[in-house]
Amino acid sequence: MIFDDLRTIQLRYGFLPKADLEGLSQRTNTPLYQIHSVASFYPHFQLTPPPKADIRVCADMSCHLNGACELRAELETRFAKNGSDDVLIREVSCLGRCDHAPAVSINDEIFTKVTAASAERIARSAIAGEEIPEPHLEHGRVQCASDPYDENARYGVVRKLAETKNWDGVLAELKAAELRGMGGAGFPTSMKWDLVRKQPGTEKYIVCNADESEPGTIKDRFIMTHLPHLVIEGMIVAGLVTGAKRGILYIRHEYHLQEEILGEELRRCYHGGILGKNILGSDLIFDLEIFVSPGGYICGEESALIEAIEGKRAEPRNKPPFPGQAGLWQKPTVINNVETFANVPQILARGVEWFKTQGQAGSRGLKFVGVSGHVTRPGIFEVPMGTPMREVIFRHAGGIRGGRQLKAFAPSGPSSGYLPASMVDVRLDFKALADAGSMLGSGAIVVCDDTTCMLDMTLNAVRFYRNESCGKCVPCRVGSQKMTELLVRWTHGGLTEKQYRADLGLVEELCAAMSLTSICGLGQIVPAPVQSVLKHFREEMDAHVLKGLCPSGICFSASARAGEVQRVGIRP
Amino acid sequence: MSTITQSMDFVEITLDGRAIRVPEGTSVFDAARMNGTPIPTLCHLQNETPVGVCRLCVVDTGGRVLTASCVRPVEAGMKVVTNSDKVLNARKTVLELLMADHPSPCARQEKSGDCELETLAKAAGVAQPRFAKRTLSRGKDDSSLAIAVDHDACILCDRCIRGCDEIKNNFVLGRMGKGYSAGIAFDLNAPMGDSTCISCGECMVSCPTGALTNKTVLGTSIAAGKDTQGFEAEELLQLPVFKGVSGTFLELNRGAIVKRRFRAGEIICREGEFGSTAFYVLEGKARVSLSAPIAHVKTEGGGKGLFKKLTSSLAARDTDVRDGEARDKTIPIDASVDLAYGNPVAELGPGDLFGEMTCMNFYPRSATVIAETDVVAFEMLRNVLDIMMKNKSFRAQIDQNYRRRALENHLRGVPMFADLSPDFIEHLKGSVELRRYAPGQVIAQQGDTARSFYLVRIGFVKVSETYPGGELVLAYLSRGDYFGEIGLLGGGVRTASCTALDHVEVVRIPGDDFREMVERFPSVRQGLEAVAAERQAANQQRMQTVQSVPIDQFLSQGLMEAQSLLILDLQNCTRCDACVNACADAHDGITRLVREGLRFDQFLVATSCRQCRDPLCMVGCPVGSIRRRNSLEVIIEDWCIGCGLCARNCPYGNINLHPFEVMVEDLERPGRKKAVVKQKATSCDLCTHLKEPSCVYACPHDAAHRVDPRTFFSEMLGGGTK
C-alpha cells in the first residue's frame, strides 16, 4: 500500500527524500509520477525536510472566531528574531478541535486552547529535541442516551441477527424509522443498503466515513470516543445485510485517540467472535479494519474517500455510478457516516417506536451536535432531533459568552451558510433547516456574537473551500480562487455603485456555474456562505464595499490597514 | 464500437426536444455529436478515457446539477438539454474562469492559432475576463529539447497525462499538488528534460493549449541537397528508434532528420568547423582523423640578446617535455572511438554515432570524417537526436557499442588504468552503465554518500565546492577525465559537487567494482590516491585562499586567483604600446598581450593567464586539449585542433591563436600533401624562457609590473581602501 510505504519513509527521515521515493518506485514498480502525484496531494506528506518546530495554526471558523489570526501573528512576531530554519508557522485547515479553540498542530501533535505563550513553550521544547506529547481531550466514557446497552451486553443486535438472519427485517425497520444519513446529505440509509444488497457479486464493501473535517464538525470524534461499539456494530449489520465481508473505517489522521479507542474495540470484537470468520459460531463473515486518512477535507467526499483507500489522489469521481453500484475497487459499497452507523443498533435494539419518540415536533431520533464559536460552553451535545436551535445554543451551550448578543449562526459549518439571530428558533431537522435555506448537515453549529464581521466569516468559509479544493474540476479549482479574490476586494471597500453591481452580477454567475457544474459537493457548496450572507446581511456587505465601513471594526481598522494584525480570514 | 453494433440494443432519448435513438452505452456527448449537436469540450478526446474535468460539456438532464456529457452514458427516456441559457451561461462562466488565468495568446495560439481554449472562449463571446488574473506564475520549463512547457497555459485537462499513460504507456506525467496550485509534473517533479520522458511528443499533441508545444529548433530544416533524402513521418515510424513516438510530433519536426549518401572520399565533416548535427552511420565505412599537427607551440631563443631572436615553433611532447603535461595515450573525440596519440586515425562503421557533442552542445567538430567507401548516414538535429537517445533500443545499441569498442580504450587511455587486466575490463564491460545528464543536473552532490566512480564520455562536468558565501569551481572535466574517486577512497562522502555543464554522458562504474579494482590493482590504487591527494591539496589551498580574502570587488574580479599578474599603472602609462609591441616581437609577431582589461584602483590588469576561479576557457574544447596542470596553470596539449573556442571563451582575452604553416595530407586529393595554415592556441607564458616578461622589460615609463596580486594588493585590501 503506497501510503504505508510513504509513511514508513517519512517516519524514518521526517520527510520523503527523493532517493527513497526512487527506490520505492523501483521496488514496487510504481511510476515515479504516481508516487509524486499522491505525495504532493496529501498534506500529511512532506517532500522537503521539516523544520524542528512545524507550527500550524488552525485557520477555520471556530478557531478564527477564537483569535487564531491574532495567535498566529503573535507567534510570528515571537519567532521572527529566531532563525527561521527551526520554525515554520503556517495555517492549517480545521483540526477537529472546534470545542477547544484555538487549536494548533505542532509537529503533528495537536494542542488546544493555545495561547501564544503556551505554543511558544511547546515549540521551543520541540526545537530542543524534547518529546511533546499531545494532550487528550476526552477522559473516561460518558454514558449516552443513545447507547442501548449495558456495558456487558453489547452487540446484542449482531447476536440476535446471527441467529435469525432476518436481513429483510433490518431493512424494513430502518425504512420504517426513516433513518437518514448523518454526514450531511441525508440520503435514506435503507435505500442505500438495499441497493448494495441487490447488486450481484460477492465482493462488496462497507465503509465508515469518519473523516469529519468540515469546520465545526466534532460530533463523530465524540461518538467514536464514547460509542465505538455502536459504530462497529452498525458496520457489521450493514455487512451482514448487504453481503459485504469487509469493512473499512476511514478515520482522519488527526484523531489519534479515537484511532486507539476503535482499535482496542476491534481487538475486543475479534477476541469475542463478533468479527472475523464464523461470527458468533455462525457461518457469517465480516472483517473490519481502520484506514488512517493521509489528510484533507476532500477525503470526506465519499468517492474521493474511496479513491484515497485505493491509494490514489483523493479526487471525487463523476457520478453516476454511485458507490452503491461501483464503489471501492469498483465494487458495490455502502458508505455511511459514523453517526448513521451508530444509529442502526439503537433502532434495531430498541425498536422503531422508541426511535420515533426520541425526536421533537415530528422529528426522529437523537442527534449529536457540536457547538462552537462564541458560546459559553462549547462542546458536543446529544439532543432530540427537532430541538429548536435556540435551545441548543442558549441552554446546552450556555448562550453567548461575555454577555454579548447572538448575531449569526451556521447550522452546519460553512456549507450551511450563515443564518441571522432572528432565525434562531429554527428546529434541528432536515426539513426545517432546508426550508430556512440552510441544512442540517453534520450538526456543526458555529455561533457568532455581535462583534463578528460577516464578510470576514464569508471569506473565511470560502477560503477554506479554496484551500481544500482537490483541483480536479475547473469551476471549483479556479472558481473558489476567484471567489476568494472577489471577496478580498470587497474587504478593501471603495467600490463605486456600478462596480459593486457588476461584482454582484459576477458573483451570481460564478455561484450558478460552481453549483451547477462542479463534480462534487465541495465545489457545489462554495456559494452557500456567500449567498446566505448576501441574503441575510446585505446591509453589512453594502457598508463594507461602498462606504468602507466594517461594523465590527475588523476590516478597516488602523492595524488591519497597516498590516500589523493580518486577519487570516482576509488574506488572499 | 464492434460490441455496440453487435448488441444492437438501442436507447431512445430526447435531445433538445428531439427524439433520437442511439446504441446503449453511448455517452451523451457522443449521442449529441452523432445527431448533429456537437458539445464543446476541452478535456475530452475521442481516443482517451473520458474524465469529465473541464466541465464544458455539461448538459441538463433534469437533475439538481448539470452533468458532464462525456462521462454520462445515455439512459432510456433521458431528456437532454444542451442549449438552454442555464447550460450556456454555466459553460461561459467556466470559460471565463479559464481565460482569466490564460496567458493569451498562448504559445499554441501564437504559432498556429489553434488554442482550443481561446477558440472556444471566442465562440462563447468571452472577451475580457472579468475575474482577476493569476498573480503568481506557475512557471515555464524549457529543459526539454523537443517540447516547451508553459505551466501558466495548463488548464489541467488531463489530456497529456492520459496520452503519456494510456496511449504511449510511458508513465512520466501526472498531476501534482492540490487545488488552485495543482499542476502537471514529470516524475518526481523533475524538469521535463531531466525526467524519464522519451520525448515521444504525445503529450504535446494531446495538449489543447500552449502548455505543451513543439519547440522549434534553430535551423530546423537541414538543407536538402542532391544526396539528401527527407522523411515522411510514416517512414520514420517504421524505424525501431522511433517506436512510441507520436506521428504528429515527427511531422512537426520534419526536416530535422535526413538520410544522406556520401561517395567514397567525400568529407562528411571537418575538425574545427561549427555545426549542429550528428551523424548515425547506416552503411559503409568512414575514416575519422585529425589533420592538425600533434604538437604545441614552443618559443625559443633570446637568452643574452633578449628579444632579438625569439622564435616559436611546433614541438611534440616527446621532443619538448613540458611540466604537468598529460601522458594520455588517446585523444578524446566526439565519436564512439578515441584516437591514438601516435596515430590519430580510426574507422567508423554502421551503428556508429558521431558528432553528438556538436549536435547537443554546439561545440566545434572535434575531428575530420571522410567516407572511405560510399556511406549512408542519418544526419539529425538535436531534437531528433534527443528522441533517439531516449529510445530504449537505440540506447541499448549505443551502450553496447561503447562497451564493445570504446570502454577499453577509454580506460587504457588514462595511464593510471594501464595495469588493469583484460579479464577485469571484460568484467567492467558487463557492469558499467552509461548515464546522461541535462545541463545543470547534479551528478554527485557534496555531502552525499559516494556510491560510484565516473568517467566522462561526453560534455563537461563542473566540479565545485560550496563554502559559506559562495561556490568555488575546482575543475572542469571533459571526455577522458574521471571523478568520484576521492569520496570512494576517502570517507565515503562526496567532498565536492559534480554538475553537468551541458549535455553530459558519463560511464558509471559501481562502487563495488571500483573497490574491487583498487584492491586487485595496487598500482591503480596508488595512482588514484596520488591524484586524489594532489587534487585535495590543490582544492584546499584554493579554498583557503578564497576564504582568507574578503569577498569584494577584488575577489569578484578573480584577481586573487592568479598567482602572477601583469599590471599596468595607469598613472604612469602613456599608452605608448611598447609593451604590446615587445610581446609581439617576443612571440613571432603574435602578441599575447592586449592592453585592455579589468581595472582595479589605478591599475589596469592586463592579460596574462590568471588561472581563474572559474576556468571558462576549458569548457567546450572538443578534444579536451586545454587542461590544468596541478599548479593550476593552463596548458594546451598537443592535440589542439586550433578551433579557437577557448580563445573566445576566455573572458580576459588571455588565449590567442598562433598560426603555423604546415604540410598536411590533401583531403581532396588523397596521397598528396599540401601546405595549409593551422592554428594552435597559446596563452601568455609570462616569457618563462626569459628573465623578465618582455612587456615589463620594454616599458619605458615603469608602468608595467609583474606582481603576486595578494602581496601587491594586500595593503589596499587590509587597509580597506577601494
Whether the CA torsion B52, B56, B61, B64 is positive or negative: it is positive
Peptide bond into A414 cis (omega under 30): no
pLDDT (mean) for B707-711:
69
Question: In this structure, are B524 and B616 located in the same domain?
Answer: no
Which residue type, as a one-letter code, is found at position B343? Answer: N
Q: Tens of pLDDT along A94-121? A: 999 999 999 999 999 999 999 999 999 9
Whether residues B524 and B652 share a domain: the answer is no
**Dist. CA A296–CA A298, nearest whole Å:** 5
**DSSP secondary structure string, B670-715?**
TT-EEEEEEEEEEE--TTTTSSS-HHHHH-TTS-EEEE-HHHHTHH
Nearest by CB to residue B97, choosing from A472, A479, A489, is: A479
The reply to whether A329 and A368 lie within a common domain is no
Record: contact A513-B97, CB cut-off 8 A: yes
CA distance A171 to chain B (A): 27
Residue B304's CB is within 10 A of a number of other CB atoms, namely 6
Instruction: Please give the Cα distance from A351 to A157 (Å, whole number).
Output: 11
B567 is a domain residue: yes
Let me know whether A367 and A407 are in one domain.
Answer: yes
pLDDT at residue number B305: 45
Average pLDDT over residues B349-371: 87
Instruction: Provide the CATH number for the domain around residue A171.
Output: 3.40.50.11540
pLDDT (tens digit per residue) in A343-390: 999 999 999 999 999 999 999 999 999 999 999 999 999 999 999 999
Is residue B558 scored above 90 in pLDDT?
A: no
Domain membership of residue A139 (yes or no) is no
- Tell me if A549 is assigned to some domain: yes
Crossing angle between the packed helical segments A156-164 and A228-242, to the nearest 10 degrees: 20
Predicted confidence (pLDDT) per residue in B440-477, tens digit: 889 998 888 888 999 888 888 888 888 766 777 777 88
Same domain (yes/no): A350, A373: no
Are B563 and B538 in the same domain? no
pLDDT score of A292 more than 90? yes
Question: H helices of A147-275, where?
Answer: 156-164, 167-177, 189-198, 219-226, 228-242, 256-271
The domain in which residue B437 lies consists of 415-547
Q: For A240-254, A393-407, B575-589, which range has the lowest pLDDT when averaged over its residues?
A: B575-589
User: Measured between alpha carbons, how far is A447 from B248 in angstroms, rounded to an integer?
Assistant: 60
Position B651 pLDDT exceeds 60: yes
Considering the domain architecture, whether residues B525 and B578 belong to the same structural domain is answered as no
Q: Left, alpha or beta for A399 (phi > 0: left; psi -120 to 50: alpha)?
A: left
Question: Is residue B519 located within the same domain as residue B623?
Answer: no
More confident residue, B556 or A57: A57
Name beta bridge partners: B662: B676
Measured between CA atoms, the residue of chain B closest to residue A30 is B171
Q: Are residues B599 and B460 in the same domain?
A: no
Query: What are the b/e assignments for B79-111, b being 16+ CB within 10 Å?
Result: ebbbeeeebeebbbbbbbbbbbbbbbebbbbee
Q: Give mean pLDDT, residues A32-52.
A: 95
Mean pLDDT of B82-108: 96
Q: What pLDDT does residue A562 have? A: 54
Mean predicted confidence (pLDDT) in B287-303 = 77
Chain A residues touching residue B188 (CB < 8 angstroms): 18, 21-22, 32-33, 35-36
> Cβ of B674 under 8 Å from any chain A Cβ?
no
Percent of chain A with pLDDT over 90: 87
> Does B172 contact A at CB distance below 8 Å?
yes
Closest chain A C-alpha to B579 CA, distance in angstroms: 55
Q: What is the CATH number of the domain that holds A412?
A: 3.10.20.600
Q: Inter-chain contact A475–B176, Cβ cutoff 8 Å?
A: no
Taking the CA of residue A520 and the nearest CA in chain B, the distance in Å comes to: 10
Domain coverage including residue A349 = 156-354
pLDDT in tens, A87-100: 999 999 999 999 99
Q: Based on the domain organization, do B528 and B594 belong to the same domain?
A: no
pLDDT at B528: 85
Euclidean distance between CA atoms B193 and B141, whole angstroms = 9
**Per-residue pLDDT for B29 more than 90?**
yes
| Cα distances (angstroms) measured from residue A351 to each of A157, A176, A177, B74, B573 | 11, 10, 9, 42, 111
Please tell me the predicted confidence (pLDDT) of residue A147. Answer: 95
Interface of B with A in 28-47 (CB under 8 A): none
Domain presence at residue B458:
yes
pTM of the complete model: 0.81
Mean predicted confidence (pLDDT) in B539-561: 59
Assigned domain for B36 exists: yes
A122/B315: higher pLDDT: A122
Among residues A439, A412, A491, A372, which one has the least CA distance to residue A98? A372
Co-location of A391 and A254 in the same domain: no
Whole-number pLDDT of residue A572 = 33
Cell 572559474 -> residue: B614
Domain-ending residue, one of B124, B142, B169: B124
Query: Which A residues 421-480 touch B at CB under 8 Å?
Result: 466-475, 477-480
A263: region left, alpha or beta (phi > 0 left; psi from -120 to 50 alpha)? alpha
Helix residue spans in B329-462 (DSSP H): 356-361, 382-389, 392-401, 407-412, 422-431
Residues of A in contact with B90 (CB under 8 A): 512-513, 516-517
CB A170 within 8 A of CB A237: yes
CATH number at residue A117: 3.40.30.10
Query: Domain check: are B590 and B513 in the same one?
Result: no
pLDDT of residue B4: 45
Same domain, A195 and A343: yes
pLDDT confidence tier of residue B602, bands split at 50, 70 and 90: confident
Does B180 reach chain A within 8 Å, measured CB to CB?
yes
Q: Give the chain A residue whose CA is nearest to the CA of B171.
A: A31
- A123 and A259 assigned to the same domain: no
Looking at residue A560, its pLDDT comes to 57
Find the range with the poorest average confidence among A383-392, A513-522, B106-115, B554-563.
B554-563
pLDDT, residue B666, reads: 75
Q: Give a yes or no: residue B69 inside a domain.
A: yes
Q: Residue B688 domain-assigned?
A: yes
Q: Do A40 and B155 touch (CB under 8 A)?
A: no
One domain for residues A492 and A426: no
Per-residue pLDDT, B548: 58
Q: In whole angstroms, how far apart are CA B73 and each of A183, A325, B58, B270?
A: 28, 15, 13, 64
The domain boundary, picked from B100, B124, B148, lies at B124
Question: Does residue A500 share a domain with residue A485?
Answer: yes
Q: Is residue A141 part of a domain?
A: no
Contact A515/B at CB under 8 A: yes
Q: At what angle do helices A116-127 and A68-80 cross, to 10 degrees?
A: 50
Q: Per mean pLDDT, which range of A200-214, B120-134, B187-201, B406-420 is the poorest?
A: B406-420
Q: What are the pLDDT digits (tens) for B317-331?
A: 878 877 777 777 788
Closest residue in A to B175 (Cα) is A37
> What kind and span of H or E run contains A433?
helix A430-435
pLDDT confidence band for B689 (50 / 70 / 90): low
Domain check: are A371 and A493 in the same one? no
Q: How many CB pairs under 8 A join A and B?
A: 144
Number of helices and strands in chain A (H, E): 24, 13
Q: For residue B307, what pLDDT is reported?
A: 44
Same domain, B640 and B570: yes
User: What gap in Å lies between CA A502 and CA A512, rounded to an integer?
Assistant: 15
Give the count of domains, chain A: 5
Please indicate, yes or no, if residue A140 is contained in any of the structural domains.
no
DSSP A317: P
| CB atoms B185 and A37 under 8 Å | yes
Q: Classify residue B291: in a domain, yes or no.
A: no
A18 occurs within a structural domain? yes
H or E segment and range at residue B97:
helix B85-100
Q: Is the dihedral of CA A295, A301, A304, A305 positive or negative?
A: positive
Q: Same domain, yes or no, for A401 and A542?
A: no
Residue B614 pLDDT level (bands cut at 50, 70, 90): low
Residues B621 and B578 in one domain: yes
Asked if residues B40 and B55 have their Cβ atoms less than 8 Å apart, the reply is: no
* Residue range B92-113: mean pLDDT, rounded: 95
In a domain? residue B220: no
Q: Which residue of A has its CA nearest to B66?
A: A516
**Residue A488: inside a domain:** yes
In the block, cell 595578494 appears at B710
Nearest CA in chain B to A320: B72
Report the mean per-residue pLDDT for chain A.
93
Which residue, chain included where needed, has cell 522511433? B242
Domains of chain B: total: 3
The confidence score (pLDDT) of residue A258 equals: 95
Q: Which amino acid is at A298?
A: I
Whether residues B580 and B705 fall in one domain: yes
Provide mean pLDDT across the span B215-243: 68
Contact A471 B86 (CB under 8 A): no
Give me the CATH number covering residue B117: 3.10.20.740
Average pLDDT, integer, range A59-71: 93
Same domain, B573 and B694: yes
Task: Pick B596 or A91 by higher pLDDT.
Answer: A91
Do residue B171 and residue A477 have CB atoms under 8 angstroms apart? no
| pLDDT average, residue stretch A497-504 | 96
Write down the residue that cell numbers 424509522 correspond to. Answer: A177
